[in-house]
Structure 1
Amino acid sequence: MENQKEVQAAEAKIWNFVYGFADTLVLRCAIELGIADIIHKQGEPLTLSELGAQIPLKSVNTDHLHRLMRYLVHMKLFTKETLDGEARYGLAPPAKLLVKWWEDKGLASIIFGITDKDFIAPWHHLKDSLAGDGEETTFEKVLGKSISTYMADHLEKSMLFNESMVHDTRLFTSVLIQDFKDVFQGIKSLVDVGGGSGTDMGAIAKAFPHLKCTIYGLPHVIADSPDYPEVDRISGDMFKHIPSADAILLKCILHYWGDGQCIEILKRCKESVPREGGIVIIADAVVDLESKHPYLTKTLLSTDLDMMLNTGGKERTEAEWKKLFNAAGFPAYKITHVADVEYSVIEAYPY
């Protein structure tokens, strides 16, 4: 018979998983209520009554607010201290990232997107994703259309997605600019395939004024993207054609697609760059189960399931990336892992 303590420890671990969803939904609630902004604006920790008086609701149940803040303190997002016998709540370092989220919507957009009732619906059918030939994603089975068609039909959700991508890749774009100067200085033109709003490409264009920069994407995305004078905008279908350039940038694109589609995209890229000096720059995840950063591994394994359910894509190991490059006719590649972020830079050489 198993040791009773071992059984209790195992049950405790399972219970921790049972309510794993609570962290995300409590975080969403804190963002919706603007709790971090209220405390930041005040400039000092607040009592429950002071905090409740500024929450944008007609009335606030103080007991419920107390229980919500107790959970947020346990998450180490907020702090609690007692002064003159009364609890006061302040900002822990992570909560500072939630301040003024309406100005930098990216982090909030990620939370709102993941917890959106439509986007979370396929997760309730995870077991169903194991059946069938994979021709139809779980998202399509549940919502009746592909995620790309859904985005085109729901522009507010498309904007939410684009806002989250801007935040998700902003830090990584700064890494590209700082650590890969030699790559950008050695080319004259760059096309960002699936470049979204063009924010990141605008930063690259300013950092390297000699570059002719272009974002290339679906018509409804290009139509809604802001105008950056340094960046050209072209709409089209990357499976049919990619504008010619010395280099093609695929930033967080290939993990949305299955192997067959990725090979087609890479072949289009190969057709679009010159034989001399042409390069495809891929900013995407490379899964390493032996990574020294287990929190990143968990994130990648989670996004891998996300891709499986919603797009038919996947997060890939280096061996899986190599298989794609071989199938697309790329003779060489170089992977540079970027510390403390989930993405790596892959320099793929088509010739």
Structure 2
Amino acid sequence: MAAHHAPTMAVPTDAQLIQAQADLWRHSLCYFTPMALRCAVQLGIPTAIHRLGGTASLSDLVAALSLPPSKTPYLSRIMRLLVTSGVMASHEEGVYSLLPLSYLLVDGISIDGEASQVAIVLAATSRHYLEAALGLSDWFKKDVAPPLPAPFEDVHGATILEESMALLDPESDKVIHEAVAAHDNMGIGTILRECHDLFKGLESLTDCCGGDGTTARAIVQAFPHIKCHVLDLPKVIERAPRGDGSVNYVAGDLFHSIPAAQAVMLKLVLHFWSDEDCINILSHCKKAIPSREAGGKLIIIDIVVDPSSSGQILETQLLMDVAMLVCTRGRQRDENDWRSIFTKAGFSDYKIVKKLGARGVIEVYP
């Protein structure tokens, strides 16, 4: 058999080498962008700009944040990076305003039922997440029997969202739970507007891992005739607000039993779990709903990795996939991956209703 030889790369030109060196610096140092974002969040810069009327000069910010005036030139360098990376806007030198991204980081602003997304920044840039990522090469070298622990578990001896994390660092555990809640609930208003027919005709719905019921309450407000159940772990349900009783809270575990309903919703849940776990979860979902003829279906809102997406959307999807690799036993899935676990869990058909940014809305039928 003839040997296969890899093509030999041509020696880069001077122009290519210069560009490659600049690209190498950028890839090696780009972690300073999320660090600058974390700094801005911790200082309260987006909130300060909002309270100053939406536009603020450097001196305005220094005064509003009670920073030493001597730090003014250093703050300008952080702001310059945030402007260049698309976090802030600046139409006049030394004067800054918010963009939609930074508006998400203003304290006290409610968007689609969910407050600011600050916790996502703080969790993703936390010491625990970064140390887990630093352990990736050691994790790859270890030959251990399945189920493989995530690098996060390997480094910290704890699992995010579980009691072991609360024991390791209660404050970080609190931030991670807040980040997951902000991540899950953001955008439900857009989904209700853009995918209105998704809920039309439904009489009942169970929101699995529905947390404090923010999503369920938004659905009931838009469709008052739908009887909504929220299923989550007992420790989550204990803290959930009972409100006006429009939502029924159920303490339980989606790996064991799911309250019967015409539809079951899994919003940003399955990417935390391995394919085997997802098939198990989906099998329990199938038991909880009636036949397709009786209107039974799953509503899955999750990332659908799409190589044909725009560059930034695809990069976001792949970054989220590596985040799952580092911190959980789950992953982000493309359409073929989704189809495979639906089929293995006994479902007959599905359709992708709509793609909204990095997420997809999928109807799955028994």
**Alignment check: 8 A CA contact 1:106 1:168 kept:** no
Match of 2:53 in 1: 43
CA shift, 1:31, in A, is: 1.5
1:184 aligns to 2:190 (yes or no): no
Gap regions ≥5 residues in structure 2: 1-10
- Sequence identity, in percent? 34
Helix, strand or coil for the counterpart of 1:185? coil
- The whole-number CA distance in structure 2 between the counterparts of 1:173 and 1:95 is 17
* Structure 1 residues 11 and 210: CA distance shift in structure 2, 3 A: same
* Separation in structure 2 between the aligned mates of residue 251 and residue 181 of structure 1, nearest angstrom: 16
Is 1:239 aligned to residue 269 of structure 2? no
Which deviates more, 30-39 or 265-274? 30-39
| Displacement of 1:174 | 2.0
Secondary structure, aligned partner of 1:61: helix
Contact conserved, 2:213 with 2:240, CA < 8 A, in 1?
Answer: yes
Residue in structure 1 matched with residue 6 of structure 2 by the alignment: none
- Which residue of structure 1 aligns with residue 242 of structure 2? 227
Give TM-score scaled by structure 1 length.
Answer: 0.89
Normalising to structure 2: TM-score of the pair? 0.86
Question: Residue 313 of structure 1: SS of its match in structure 2?
Answer: coil
> Which of the numbers 205, 209, 216 marks the counterpart of 1:201?
216
Instruction: Name the residue aligned to 2:317.
Output: 300
Alignment map for 1:97-116 (pairs within 5 Å) = 97=103, 100-104=106-110, 105-116=115-126
1:74 counterpart letter in structure 2 = T
Larger helix proportion of the pair: 1
Q: Which residue of 1 aligns with 2:276?
A: 260
- CA, structure 1 residues 2+157, in 2 after alignment: closer, same or farther (shift >3 Å)? closer
Which residue number in structure 1 is paired with residue 137 of structure 2? Answer: 127
Alignment of 1:212-223 (within 5 A): 212-223=227-238
- CA pair 155-2 structure 1, distance change in 2 beyond 3 A: closer
Worse overlay, 54-63 or 249-258: 54-63
Check whether the contact 1:281–1:346 (CA below 8 A) recurs between aligned residues: yes
1:142 to 155, 170, 173: 155
Residue 7 of structure 2: aligned partner: none
Classify 1:70/1:332 alpha carbon distance in 2 versus 1 (closer, same or farther; 3 Å): closer
Q: How does 1:27-106 map to 2 (within 5 A)?
A: 27-43=37-53, 45-57=55-67, 60-76=70-86, 77-79=88-90, 81=92, 88-94=94-100, 96-97=102-103, 100-104=106-110, 105-106=115-116
Instruction: Provide the alpha-carbon RMSD of the alignment.
Output: 2.3
Residues 317 and 72 from structure 1, CA distance in 2 versus in 1: closer, same or farther, beyond 3 angstroms?
closer
Q: In the alignment, is the contact (CA less than 8 A) between 2:106 and 2:116 conserved in 1?
A: no
